[in-house]
Amino acid sequence: MRALRSADLLVAVGADLEIGWLPVAIRQAANPSIQPGRSGYFEFAAHVELLDVGGVADRALGDVHPFGNPHVHMDPVRVASLATALAERFAEMDPEHASHFSQHAADFVASIEQKLPEWQARVAESPGAVLFHQDANYLFYRFDVPIHGFLEPVPGIPPTASHIKSLTDSLRSSTGVVLHTTFQPERAPQALGEALGWSVVRLPLEPPVESTGPDYLAHIDRWIAAMESRP
Ligand SMILES: [Zn+2]
């Protein structure tokens, strides 16, 4: 709230990802220029096409992604278009430095475009993965790597013994890797990995706070390396 009070621009992911806290923080900050609809409010999800639009919209069921999957930052192509859109917003707010913003965005876009063929080649033979939550879907869809299932029976609902058993039964003859993030509990991924004889890899879902462009590329590199791994 303190940061929002003096902010010129608020950048959110959107698609209700921050619904639990951001609307309250915006209201309490009482800064008119960062209210939704104003030029100081920018939503990533509003600038790209979302996957899985039209799911069940009952928040009592958990982190159900009512407006589509909000974990857009895992797609480097969508992140590249975000950079361009953000540079345009910066330029509207500070026209004097417009060329500076657009040049930096163009450099970042170029750095992503340069990596795409390498990432695609590295995962071409990937056996695919089971994820914990529907949080890395964009990365898998981008490079056409199969997702064999999710440890959560429904997004936001913790894994159950019966769901792990049905995953184990249906995947017994497949190969892959169990991928989950650092803030998800380890027990269910370990149980599934052991039952199937698959490796289990735990990774952060986001690059560290205050990361730079190269840090984002390194983040995607780590996920690509995990997708390459085999049992
Ligand atoms: Zn989610």
- pLDDT tens digits, residue range 93-132? 999 999 999 999 999 999 999 999 999 999 999 999 999 9
Dmax of the chain from CA atoms?
61
pLDDT at 53: 82
pLDDT at 63: 58
Residue 52 CA to ligand 1 center (angstroms) comes to 11
Residue 37 CA to ligand 1 center (angstroms) comes to 24
> Out of 60-74, 146-160, 190-204, which region has the weakest mean confidence (pLDDT)?
60-74
Cβ-contact 170, 159 below 8 angstroms: no
Percent of the chain residues topping a pLDDT of 90? 87
pLDDT at 62: 56
Domains of the chain: 69-231 (3.40.50.1980)
pLDDT at 49: 92
- pLDDT tens digits, residue range 42-94? 999 999 999 988 765 555 555 567 788 999 999 999 999 999 999 999 999 99
Distance CA 43, CA 15 (A): 8
Residue 153 CA to ligand 1 center (angstroms) comes to 13
Residue written as tokens 């992911």?
A: 13
Residue 85 CA to ligand 1 center (angstroms) comes to 23
Residue 215, amino acid: D
Rounded (5°) CA angle 166-167-171: 120
pLDDT at 65: 76
- pLDDT tens digits, residue range 172-194? 999 999 999 999 999 999 999 99
pLDDT at 56: 53
Residue 175 CA to ligand 1 center (angstroms) comes to 25
Mean pLDDT of 26-39: 94
Distance CA 62, CA 49 (A): 23
Q: 38-63 burial, b if ≥16 CB within 10 A, otherwise e?
A: eebbbebbebbebbeeebeeeeeebb
Over 60: is that where the pLDDT of 18 sits?
yes
Over 80: is that where the pLDDT of 230 sits?
no
